[in-house]
Chains A and B, each alone.
Chain A
Amino acid sequence: GDSVTQMEGPVTLSEEAFLTINCTYTATGYPSLFWYVQYPGEGLQLLLKATKADDKGSNKGFEATYRKETTSFHLEKGSVQVSDSAVYFCALRGTSGSRLTFGEGTQLTVNP
């Protein structure tokens, strides 16, 4: 079945540091890929998505590129802010087009 693996956390960075959170997946066909963010006390919010190979999703300075050859969708940001502190989830939606399969999440803490 479908699965998503994220890099182990937590991740602690200083403000303005470069961020990478690794995500790899296993799925049949061509899934859609997502990054969701969960701020403390809030619900999951879609951060960015990519629906086909080589697509780049971007939002709020975050980027991720759908790499079919490496089955990866790594999240990057060039300069993190304290307000980026949250839990980040990589997810896929398989070709059946309904349910989401999530990774285990990565806690990011950005210190001033």
Chain B
Amino acid sequence: GAGVSQSPRYKVAKRGQDVALRCDPISGHVSLFWYQQALGQGPEFLTYFQNEAQLDKSGLPSDRFFAERPEGSVSTLKIQRTQQEDSAVYLCASSLARTGREQYFGPGTRLTVT
């Protein structure tokens, strides 16, 4: 079946612009995660949804970052007033159960802020 999809795959934004990154999880997956992966580093947790509820947003680096999953399926990560340090690959993952199950990752969105 279809895996996790993310769009766009690549995004170039000028500093100060707002961006929106989309994640389509695997159908029926309850849990959805966002991670940020800087160049040459491992992914770092940003936020976690269980259905439409955002249960953990402790990894969001600033109040310019906002995520939503209004219907418990598709999720959007929004970054306002982008800065150069926001340049990274943003990974989305979904999982079938609430806890303790494998996370399936999408291909990521590479964001470059110029």
Number of A-B contacts (CB under 8 A): 56
Which A1-57 residues have C-beta < 8 A from chain B?
4, 32, 36, 41-46, 49
- Interface bin, chain A: 20 to 34
Bound complex: CA of A4 vs CA of B44, how far in Å? Answer: 12
On whether the beta carbons of A102 and B44 are closer than 8 Å, the reply is yes
- Interface bin, chain B: 20 to 34
On whether the beta carbons of B42 and A103 are closer than 8 Å, the reply is yes
**Within the complex, which residue of B41, B45, B56 is in contact with A100, where a contact is CB–CB below 8 Å?**
B45
Cβ of B42: which chain A residues have Cβ within 8 Å of it?
A: 4, 89, 91, 102-105
**Within the complex, which residue of A36, A98, A101, A103 is in contact with B99, where a contact is CB–CB below 8 Å?**
A98
* Residue A60 interfacial (CB < 8 Å): no
Interchain residue pairs A-B with the least CB separation, the first 7: A97-B99, A102-B42, A44-B105, A99-B45, A43-B105, A43-B107, A104-B42
